[in-house]
Structure 1
Amino acid sequence: MKKDIQSIFKPHLMPKEVYKGGKNIPPSDKKIYKLSSNENPLGASPKAVKAMKAAIGKIDLYPDQTDMRLREALVQDFDGQLTANQFICGNSGSEVIDMILRAFINEGDEVIYSNPCFLPYSVFSRWYGAEQIDVPLLQPNYDLDVEGILNAITERTKIIFLTSPNNPTGTYIPKPVLDDFLNRIPKNIVVVLDEVYRHFADADDYVTALPYVLEGHNVIGLNSFSKTYGLAGQRIGYGYTTETIANYIRLIQKPFLLPLTSIEAAIGALNDTDFIAETVKTVLEGRKYLAKAFDELGIRYWPSQANFFIIDPPLPEMEFTDKMMEEGIMVRPVSQFGAPGKVRITVGNQEANEALIKALRRLMP
């Protein structure tokens, strides 16, 4: 029987959904404000840049064989509440997601997530042959469907992805809701709590994964250096969890995993408390400014705990995105994230925010 090479391809790897990141700023003679990728409105941490420059003279040498120096810096950042053995580092938060799935998922296992959400939860799960269970967030406020998730759990469920604040909606999971949920799920399920935007959350009942990890829950707090620290181009992220889970996942870490410049930049950024504080201040003030302007313009938006808003645009999403680009403003349509017709807009610095509102005023009917 004649066969070709495709006969040994894994069916679950064949193209379906493909994650596409935000576009880069195109060449242009006019000023373009990139409000499409949730990057830091102030740029990169100066201490991170200084540390990277100091490392340039050593890039002919292999970097650290492990991520231990960064893990020790993270222990300090978490005020010693966690040990170095409770952290897992990778080339971006996305790679940490990939490592978690690779460690726990066999073909036919189930992964639960809730659209609208970060697309790699589903795309990366497919790479390992997982059955993907989508329990959508509840309309109209994008609340977590706790009962829906609990009812979707089976003996094959291995991982549940939660996000707070959530990308692309900007909504969050209140502490009482998360308390109740974690107390009701089986003890052999890993909950990944993506908290990449945690620094921008100021709700009284917002909570990170930290207290649950300290209590021994099977929770992984997922984080990135791309947002608050301004290191999106360095592709570095981390997770923290119980020592049992972290030690297990690190069994599949490659040696020399992190580039030297990324390690130095991340450690430098963790020490740049002034930059972190100024970033958070800029985002929170920008969030208030944009919410007020959206109200005045009659644009429907969802209250955000992150550094972006999701809105109902005044035009069809792709037409709106193109029109805004003509105005020099890059925004992100999020149908791919499970929010058809919606557009995500990053909170920029004040200049960018004012340019956005001026463009919206020109486009409004």
Structure 2
Amino acid sequence: MRWKEQLLSLTPYQPGKSIDSVKKQFNLDKIIKLASNENPFGCSPLAHEALQTNPNSLAIYPDGYATRLREKLAAFLQVRENELILGNGSDNIIQIISRALLHPGANTIMATPSFSQYRHNAIIEGAKLKEISLLANGEHDLEAMLAAIDEQTNIIWLCSPNNPTGTYIQKQKLLGFLAQVPDHILVVLDEAYFEYVVAEDYYQSVELTRKYQNLIVLRTFSKIYGLAALRVGYGVANPQIIKALEPAREPFNVNTLGQMVAAAALDDQEFITTCKEKNRQGLQQFYDFCEQHSLNYYPSQTNFILIDFKIDGDEVFQYLLEKGYIVRSGKALGFPTGARITVGSYEENEGVLGAIKEFLANR
């Protein structure tokens, strides 16, 4: 068959190991998964209630406009309904954007290491990649990204907070950057971890979409809202961008249960605030441990931390896996001597840190 040549060099997205597979492989009764940046506290009770309200018929397609969710999101964000695009997770919107704007002859600019799907989708569409290395502190090199712009540049990807470093772009730096990007280039600001941010010099990104007509902001219900299994994400931009993207969106791309439960979850912002506070407490557990053991790490605005162990990240991963803790080796994320660990509950954090302490003592 005459496959796209670029597909032959790609591998499918590699998710973290599943709990069941690790249990079976190592004959363990209990597994703690700290690899995929899921919310250890689950989802809101209101979301659970919504799950009990079964749709009238599973034979009926979802609402293709996601009317109820769209209305609630618009009110919550204080935007108009035509400023929203819904997706099967925010990575679906990344795919839609790539499909709409990238092609052979075009190029796209992104930081590296960053979220893998920017690169993956660009390659599928045959576009040229311009990957700009992160600065030593893990932040985007915005000056180098601006310098990489040329006549063929169609998209610039910004991940803030960034995955896998947890670092963010400060407000004044972002504003200075956006002011210099030509109007015909779409800037994608991926904020999957937005709700975890506590930095005082962050920005109101949704408001920025009103000032910068070439900006789209992406968010998701998969992280702090604890709805990763239902796959709901959204983008916010001016109506012209949304209108241009919609034909590239497949019909019925947000399932019925996802729409129902995400709409209900929006009503429980107390749950979100509680999760945010517990996450900061959990991050402090990791910070204290790293300081005690002279381990370098990136201060995080997310629900994960990237730690440099100065040894092969796969070795750290394997040791913790056999102890019943699934983390993510930095080797696959562009940090070969590190590991990315999701912040869990207090007890889960204490457990994995105890296992790491054993690992360090045995070396």
TM-score, with structure 1 as normaliser:
0.94
Q: Which amino acid aligns with 2:66?
A: D
Q: Which amino acid aligns with 2:70?
A: R
| Residue 324 in structure 1 maps to residue 323 in structure 2 | no
Q: Which amino acid aligns with 2:298?
A: W
| Residue 131 in structure 1 maps to residue 146 in structure 2 | no
Are the equivalent residues in 2 in contact too, given 1:164–1:173 (CA < 8 A)?
Answer: yes
Unaligned runs of 5+ in 1: none
**1:267-278 aligned within 5 A:** 267-278=263-274
3-state SS in 2 of match to 1:187: coil
Where does residue 265 of structure 1 map in the other structure? 261
For 2:270 and 2:143, the matched residues in 1 are separated by: 42
TM-superposed CA distance for 1:98, in Å, is: 0.3
For 1:16 and 1:29, the matched residues in 2 are separated by: 33
**RMSD value over aligned CA atoms?**
1.5
Q: Which amino acid aligns with 1:198?
A: F
Aligned length: 356
TM-superposed CA distance for 1:56, in Å, is: 4.8
Q: Which amino acid aligns with 1:43?
A: G
TM-superposed CA distance for 1:57, in Å, is: 4.8
Where does residue 140 of structure 2 map in the other structure? 144
Where does residue 86 of structure 1 map in the other structure? 83
Are the equivalent residues in 2 in contact too, given 1:35–1:347 (CA < 8 A)?
Answer: yes
For 1:274 and 1:209, the matched residues in 2 are separated by: 22
TM-superposed CA distance for 1:314, in Å, is: 5.6
For 1:68 and 1:43, the matched residues in 2 are separated by: 25
Deviations 1:38-79 (A, max 9, x none): 00010122211221220255323222132232211111221x
Deviations 1:118-150 (A, max 9, x none): 1111011111111111011111x0122122111
TM-superposed CA distance for 1:22, in Å, is: 1.6
Deviations 1:102-127 (A, max 9, x none): 11122221011111101111011111
For 1:322 and 1:215, the matched residues in 2 are separated by: 48
Identity of aligned residues (%): 36
Unaligned runs of 5+ in 2: none
For 2:290 and 2:31, the matched residues in 1 are separated by: 21
For 1:220 and 1:22, the matched residues in 2 are separated by: 28
Where does residue 97 of structure 1 map in the other structure? 94
For 1:33 and 1:355, the matched residues in 2 are separated by: 9
For 1:301 and 1:323, the matched residues in 2 are separated by: 19
Quick check: 237-246 or 16-25, which moved more? 16-25
Are the equivalent residues in 2 in contact too, given 1:115–1:339 (CA < 8 A)?
Answer: no
Where does residue 209 of structure 1 map in the other structure? 205
Where does residue 290 of structure 2 map in the other structure? 294
TM-superposed CA distance for 1:208, in Å, is: 4.5
Q: Which amino acid aligns with 1:11?
A: E
TM-score, with structure 2 as normaliser:
0.94
Among 183, 188, 191, the residue aligned to 2:187: 191
For 1:217 and 1:204, the matched residues in 2 are separated by: 25
3-state SS in 1 of match to 2:163: coil
For 1:92 and 1:270, the matched residues in 2 are separated by: 16
For 2:293 and 2:16, the matched residues in 1 are separated by: 26
For 2:174 and 2:212, the matched residues in 1 are separated by: 15
Among 269, 281, 286, the residue aligned to 1:285: 281
Q: Which amino acid aligns with 1:44?
A: C
Q: Which amino acid aligns with 1:65?
A: G
| Residue 308 in structure 1 maps to residue 320 in structure 2 | no
**1:1-365 aligned within 5 A:** 5=1, 8-25=2-19, 26-27=22-23, 28-78=27-77, 80=78, 82-139=79-136, 141-313=137-309, 315-365=311-361
TM-superposed CA distance for 1:295, in Å, is: 0.9
For 2:213 and 2:61, the matched residues in 1 are separated by: 37
TM-superposed CA distance for 1:206, in Å, is: 1.2
3-state SS in 1 of match to 2:138: coil
For 1:317 and 1:257, the matched residues in 2 are separated by: 36
For 1:252 and 1:114, the matched residues in 2 are separated by: 25
For 1:60 and 1:263, the matched residues in 2 are separated by: 16
Quick check: 313-322 or 167-176, which moved more? 313-322
3-state SS in 1 of match to 2:155: strand
Quick check: 64-73 or 234-243, which moved more? 64-73
Quick check: 231-240 or 51-60, which moved more? 51-60
For 1:247 and 1:145, the matched residues in 2 are separated by: 31
Q: Which amino acid aligns with 1:12?
A: Q
Runs of 4+ in 1 over 6 A off after TM superposition: none
Are the equivalent residues in 1 in contact too, given 2:85–2:235 (CA < 8 A)?
Answer: yes
Deviations 1:321-348 (A, max 9, x none): 0101122211101333322222100110
Q: Which amino acid aligns with 2:253?
A: L
For 1:335 and 1:220, the matched residues in 2 are separated by: 30
Q: Which amino acid aligns with 2:313?
A: E
Are the equivalent residues in 2 in contact too, given 1:12–1:129 (CA < 8 A)?
Answer: yes
